[in-house]
Structure 1
Amino acid sequence: MVTPSYPFTAIVGAPALSTALLVAAVSPEIGGVLVRGEKGTAKSTIVRALTRVLPAQEVVAGCRFGCDPAQPETCPDGPHGSAPPLTRPARLVELPVGATEDRVVGSLDLRRALGEGRADYQPGLLAEAHRGILYVDEVNLLHDHLVDVLLDAAAMGRNTVERDGISMSHPAKFTLVGTMNPEEGELRPQLLDRFGLTVEVRASRDPDERTEVVRRRLAFDADPSGFAARWADDEAALTARLAQARELAARVRLGDRALRAISGICAAFDVDGLRADIVTARAAVAHAALHEREEVTRADVRAAALLALPHRRRRSPFDEPGLDEEMLDRLLDEELPDDDGPDGPKNDPDDPGHGPGDDGGGGDHGQSGDHGPNAGAPDGTDQPPRDGGPDTSAAPPADSPGTPDGAASPDPGLPPQAPADDAGSDDGAGAPPRAAAPVGVAPAGRAYRARSLTAGGLGRGSAGRRSPALTTRGRTIGVHPAGRPAPGAPVHLPATLRAGALRLGRAGRATVAAEDVRYAVTRGKEANLVLLVVDASGSMAARRRMQEVKTAVLSLLMDAYQRRDRVGLVTFRGTGAELVVPPTSSVEVAAARLHEVGHGGRTPLAEGLVLAHRVVARERIRDRHQRALIVLVTDGRATVGRDAVARARQVADRWPGTHTVLIDCETGPVRLGLAADIARRMGAEHLPLEQVAAGSIVDIVTDRKAA
């Protein structure tokens, strides 16, 4: 017996998410929904629940692509006969994070091609999702080329395959829904724009609402069938409402005033391109149909703008999505004066920005209030069940294993550290005690294009955009030995045919056997772990100098974002080092923490190097193929404890074989060259701070030519 899913209409207090999913279900041409939210907010639960309320659909009998008999399309399985259509529930197709491109778009049926000599097409997940929902959990963790394929198919309504001797095009109209936790990394802005709607989901802070969420979840877990039965009438009513809205959407009128208001809003919020205008218009029409209106009103435009524009306003990867609702209301007042009374559309029950108990503030998009898409459902019906509250502790605890204090012992293979001595001076000779230096926080400036930094040699990490490596995508440079392909390696067709020909010559066989398949060795680029180790001590404490350092580090974070790297941030000052940001795919988290890093105190350089080594060693255990690129930002001075400089040099002399770049921040007319000496001992690339910007490379070459 199949356990029923949690009822969509039993969900409490998430009007924005419910409205976005229903609007996209009414009009799949909108382009899908991206659900961003913290862990434990049941993003997956509400998406799976949506499938149960979608109307059943008729399909052509025997068609592998589920074509609609009422709307004939160009289909590889056509022309379809006159057999009676079949009725089936709407499909939910889930795309795993580790799926290959062949599985997504479809490919040559290799078994038939090699065994029978027939070039047959094997449909992929896009074909299965036609006229249904394609759900991608953790869409931000998918490879970029897969996300491109998904969004192109969602925008065009067709999937075209041109590969392996196959030329195929089939209908692929689906509602694309992706969920993600921003802490685990962001989508590129170009890809973010291809999602029609986006919703920010946060756990409610209202104890009563959280209590109701837990009560319903426990009731469902205790008796799933009985709980679903209690909500069956509401589910059926919502299904009928969706079916009616789909029919009504074709008759909804989008007047010139409403259309001009949409264009004016998009222009005022400075969104790029015209996709925002088109998506907002379609969403407003679908929202009107969902509320049984035959003409788009101000409420529909407002609701559509709150769903379609926030993620398109990002001017850089580190900008948080959001929309100024006060500005939106002012623009609507100019173009579409309130025609619903003094409160008008601001009290619309499905307006993502306003709900009962909502103070009208922006950012959360309706995470309070008991209301939702199914009018009349008891106790409100829009909050997804949650397994628990959000984890708000993004930073590691003070006693985290990876965060040593000044007296911590280094890892085996590195020299022991002397205890931190607050009486230490620049040269380590016992100077009299002095008061701790005040701590300041310098802001970072505007990021610039950073110089390209890569790890040396040839790696074997996951595909990315930084360092050269043997990957599953790239230029073919050889063939894997027979029977030992790399995971995910593409088929090398010439080598396969050659192996089959050799078998034919020996055994007289007329077919290519499965054991003849050969796989290509491809060379491309890999993503790296970029560990930024930043000196935040008093020797770097000049506010202007620290601002330059933070700007350089922010620029390196921007570069890591564009190259799809994982990043970590270590700082050292005072008496020890701290892992401020554990290695993560979310450079946004690292950028936010960087702005909060204070400066001042003495310089525990040895402790910073030891902690960096520990972090890299721990990450190698987790993924032995991912190479680390350590970027050490310091002026090379060490002031903590006796013989501080000597201890730092001793650690540098025993530095493990990790590619390291030392960015030298020493300034002034008299320079000690300590950072250059540390770089030489570590075998690191030495780079002055002023040469971090990519444009400085041109200046260096020009100066050398002039000389």
Structure 2
Amino acid sequence: MPLQYPFSAVLGCAADALDDLGLSLVLTAVSPRIGGVLVRGEKGTAKSTAVRALAAVLPPIDVHTGDRFSADPADPDASSPDGPFAPGTARTTRPVRLVELPVGTTEDRVLGSLHLERALSHGKVEYEPGLLARAHRGILYVDEVNLLHDHLVDLLLDAAASGRVGVERDGVSVEHDARFVLIGTMNPEEGELRPQLLDRFGLTVEVAAPRDPALRAEVVRRRLGFDADPASFLARHQPAEQALRDRIGAARERLDAVRLTEAALLKIAEVCAAFEVDGMRADLVTARTAVAHAAWEGRDEVLRADIRRAALLTLPHRRRRNPFDAPGLDEELLDSVLGDEDPAPEPPPPPTPPDGDGPGRPEDAPGTDGAGEDTGAPSGGGASQPSGTAPVTAAAPYRPRLLTARGVGPGAAGRRSRALSDTGRRIGAAAPASAEGAGLHLVETLRAAATRQAARGRADAADGRIRLRAEDLRTAVREGREANLVLFCVDASGSMAARRRMKQVKTAVLSLLLDAYRRRDKVGLITFRGRRAELLLPPTHSVDVAAARLDRLPAGGRTPLAEGLLEAARVLNRERLRDPRLRSLLVVVTDGRATDGADAVARSLRAADHLAALDVTTTVVDSESGPLRLGLAARLAVRLRAEHLPVAEVSADTLAGAVRLRTTSTGAA
């Protein structure tokens, strides 16, 4: 097994110099009931390295020998489906596990399910533990958590909050403990988590690569030292690793004794109210984090510093009203609410405390290292803005009605159109397309094998095992929802530069971007102006980047319509090859005035014929206005086999409606 890069060697993760990343990981290890950590940041910022190294600095745990569910022998209330265990049962001390959950996993793998081999061979109903059972009292790590199916993220967060997992399926009824440190990492450029899921993570940290050359050099120096001689590198950092391990263990033991006074609790409520966070989860998580921070610092009472540090980790992602809001927290407002003094101390308790619960714990800059990833700043984007031009700003986005493709698609994971997928309601069963077909359907498999038992030499039930063959296997056919690619091809020439017209276009596109974010779609943006077309935004799930590019979109110059259509054809072809399951919708916003040469109109119509051959559902929004109308946009729509929508029927509310109308009436290619 390869040696793991040490946690204390990650820049910002030493016990005496923890940054937000290191502190958030340590605090959720001290108090798993905080609810886990979401680490957001660009590629190459040691997110995965720090998480994988955390397990090594956690104190080892005792388990019953042979217990697959890792029940705590010292906890009289702990139970295990493999138990009960007699008082003298052998015990084993082992390191804390780091369990990685693959993005493409299934619900059965997460929760556990019927042990298929023993059911088929011996007719026994036996439970096979899932990843949550294996992660009990350890760390459950999900890399690229933003790409995980939403229902699986909900399942993980529910288990992390309750500490229990119940399984009722396939004749199995099992309940077991599942208390673990949940950590997810993600790159926002690859798509965002829904706000509802963001709120379910206890802590969220934004990380970025250091810009100081000295720090960057130190990162490289450490990584080169580890690669050259891992054993010696680990030996040098062993004292620091042990110090972290001891301090985490001491903080865990101190946790129950930390006092959260009424004054401190009221101050936490004031902070959460000042930042207008929704619901009560923020107050509860901030209280738990402040208590854990006090325990980590060796204090027996929560102080102002604990509340402040907790708020910086628990509130930034909860104050985002929509994905276009910038993350972060107004520290001046935070300091103003907290004041300059610590909360009033709690009066000493009487010698004999009364029955019942008294005040106490509630019941229930970024680190990087040489992790083998390239470190760098996210690339800038957006069209260059000519001197003297100012892009028009979109109005507040509105919520468009559901846009769906007609029929049933092949099932790119998402939440929009009907599709055959790995999740959703079962509508039948079929032979798997390959030996790795997912979602094996036990009943249909046995039914397919039943009529062939005599031909395979099995006379009756006394013959023993059911005789299965590969041709008997059946997988569940499920209907769920899929994502789509919505590609906008927008005329940004001088004839579109009227502020009201461009404001309508930008607002509609921004609204569809927000809807696409909620439904896990991809969105792309092509603009054409001057003498060329530009793919301003390659198809992406990142609404932050999309909104920024759209906001900086200027207008002016000639109208190279043909170039815009040809660029759209190239993008659609490339995306179809990249992901054949992702159906596309093209929205062309133009006044039809091709003005980039004497043969501009003819070239535009030829480009339309080329694009139409791709059989992609298209809507042409005709923005032509004025007393003299050439009708080119209408001719363009005919050549594209597209829906034509005159400008008189377009407003900030009806552009999205035009897309919905076209999608539901003709379907998406």
Q: TM-score, normalised by structure 2?
A: 0.88
Deviation at 1:670, TM superposition (A): 6.5
Instruction: Name the aligned partner's letter for residue 636 of structure 2.
Output: I
The counterpart of 2:81, out of the listed 76, 87, 90, is 76
Cα–Cα, structure 1 residues 338 and 572, in superposed 2: closer, same or farther, change >3 Å? Answer: farther
Structure 2 CA distance for partners of 1:22 and 1:501, relative to 1, 3 Å: same
Query: How far apart are the structure 1 equivalents of 2:491 and 2:149?
Result: 34
Letter in 2 for 1:689: V
Q: Distance in 2 between matches of 1:331 and 1:155?
A: 29
2:650 corresponds, among 665, 689, 692, to 689
For residue 469 of structure 1, the aligned residue among 419, 425, 438 is: 419
**Which AA in structure 2 matches 1:449?**
R
Contact 2:393–2:551, Cα closer than 8 Å, also in 1: yes
Preserved CA contact (<8 Å) 1:449 1:694: no
Match for 2:163 among 139, 157, 165?
Answer: 157
Contact 2:209 2:377 in 1 (8 A): no
Per the alignment, residue 432 of structure 1 pairs with none
**Residue identity in the other structure for 1:492:** H
Query: 2:222 touches 2:369 (CA, 8 Å); kept in 1?
Result: no
Q: How does 1:399-410 map to 2 (within 5 A)?
A: none
1:285-326 superposed Cα distances (whole Å, 9 cap, x missing partner): 000000100000111000000000000010012212210111
Q: Counterpart in 2 of 1:558?
A: 514
**Who is 1:441 aligned against?**
391
Separation in structure 1 between the aligned mates of residue 292 and residue 218 of structure 2, nearest angstrom: 30
Measure the CA separation in 2 of the matches of 1:218 and 1:676: 63
Alignment of 1:604 onto 2:603: no
Query: 2:505 matched to 1:544?
Result: no
- 2:56 is aligned to 52
Cα distance in structure 2, aligned partners of 1:632 and 1:81: 72
Report the residue type matching 1:597 in the other structure: L
- Candidates 131, 139, 143, aligned match of 1:125: 131
- Give the structure 1 partner of residue 216 of structure 2: 210
| In 2, Cα distance between equivalents of 1:505 and 1:6 | 58
Q: Which of 282, 286, 301 does residue 276 from structure 1 map onto?
A: 282
Matching residue of 2:459? 508
**For residues 326 and 255 of structure 1, what CA distance do their matches in structure 2 show?**
24
- Contact 1:15/1:383, CA 8 A, preserved across alignment: no
* CA gap 1:338/1:588 in 2 versus in 1, 3 angstroms: farther
The aligned residue for residue 238 of structure 1 is 244
Rate the CA distance shift 1:397–1:90 in 2: closer, same or farther, 3 A: farther
Q: Report the Cα offset of residue 666 of structure 1.
A: 3.7
Instruction: Return closer, same or farther for 1:524/1:661 CA change in 2, 3 Å cut-off.
Output: farther
CA drift at 1:512: 3.9
**CA shift for structure 1 position 180:** 0.6
The range that moved more, 51-60 or 456-465, is 456-465
SS at match of 2:52: helix
Are the counterparts in 2 of residues 451 and 692 from structure 1 also a CA contact under 8 Å?
Answer: no
Tell me the equivalent position of 2:369: 384
CA distance 1:665–1:161, change in 2 (3 Å): farther
SS at match of 2:558: coil
Equivalent residue, structure 1, for 2:621: 663
The question of whether the paired residues in 2 share the 8 Å contact of 1:245 and 1:290 is answered with yes
Alpha-carbon distance, 1:113 to partner: 1.7
The answer as to 2:268 corresponding to 1:312 is no
Partner of 1:579: 535
Distance (whole Å) between structure 1 residues aligned to residue 627 and residue 423 of structure 2: 49
Of 267, 273, 288, which residue of structure 1 is paired with 2:273? 267
Report the Cα offset of residue 501 of structure 1: 2.5
Q: CA deviation at 1:338?
A: 11
Q: Aligned in 2, Cα 1:170/1:671: closer, same or farther, shift over 3 Å? A: farther
Partner of 1:3: 2
Range 8-17 or range 504-513, more displaced:
504-513
Which residue identity lines up with residue 376 of structure 2 in the other structure?
P
One-letter code aligned to 1:61: T
Q: In the TM superposition, what whole-angstrom CA distance separates every residue of 1:521-544 from its partner, at most 9, and x where no partner exists? A: 223321122212111111111011
Distance 1:633 1:695 in 2: 12
Contact in 1 for aligned 2:59/2:248 (Cα 8 Å): yes
Kept after mapping to 2: 8 A contact 1:157/1:173: yes
In structure 2, the gaps of 5 or more residues are 13-17, 346-364, 662-669
Q: Distance in 2 between matches of 1:165 and 1:659?
A: 46
Q: Which moved more, 1:2-11 or 1:529-538?
A: 2-11
> Matches of 2:176 and 2:654 in 1, distance apart?
47
What displacement does 1:601 show? 1.1
Q: Deviations over 1:341-390 (max 9, x none)?
A: xxxxxxxxxxxxxxxxxxxxxxxxx24xxxxxxxxxxxxxx643354431
Query: Could you tell me the percent identity over the aligned residues?
Result: 60
- Pairwise CA distance, 1:467: 2.5
The residue type paired with residue 274 of structure 1 is M
Q: Say if 1:261 and 1:336, in contact at 8 Å, map to a contact too.
A: no
SS in structure 2 of the partner of residue 631 of structure 1? strand
| TM-fit CA distance, 1:503 | 2.2
Q: CA separation in 1, counterparts of 2:425 and 2:629?
A: 46
Worse overlay, 107-116 or 569-578: 107-116
Q: Is the 8 A contact 1:111 1:514 kept in 2?
A: no
Structure-2 residue corresponding to 1:16: 20
d(CA) in 2 for partners of 1:487, 1:638: 52
Alignment of 1:620 with 2:576, yes or no, is yes
Between the aligned partners of 2:92 and 2:188, the Cα distance in structure 1 is 41
1:521-575 superposed Cα distances (whole Å, 9 cap, x missing partner)? 2233211222121111111110111111100000111111111012221111111
* Cα distance change of structure 1 residues 486 and 227 upon mapping to structure 2, 3 Å threshold: closer
- Give yes or no for contact 1:437–1:600 (8 Å, CA) kept in 2: no
Which sits farther off after the overlay, 118-127 or 658-667? 658-667
Identify the residue that residue 338 of structure 2 maps to in structure 1: 332
- 1:650-672 C-alpha deviation (Å, 9 max, x unpaired): 22133221122233334557655
Question: Do the aligned partners of 1:3 and 1:224 also contact (CA within 8 Å) in 2?
Answer: no
CA distance in 2, matches of 1:308, 1:129: 24
Q: Residue 74 of structure 1 aligns to which amino acid in structure 2? A: S
- Residue ranges of structure 1 left out of the alignment (5+ in a row): 340-365, 368-381, 399-435, 701-707
1:29 equivalent in alignment to 2:30: no
Deviation track 1:166-188 (CA, whole Å, cap 9, x = no partner) reads: 22211110000111111110000
Question: What's 1:594 paired with?
Answer: 550
**What secondary structure is seen at the aligned counterpart in 1 of 2:85?**
coil
Q: CA contact under 8 A between 1:485 and 1:519: conserved in structure 2?
A: no
Give runs of aligned pairs for residues 282-361 of structure 1, distance below 5 A. Answer: 282-333=288-339, 336=342
In structure 1, the partner of 2:636 is 678
| Count of residues paired in the alignment | 620
RMSD: 2.5
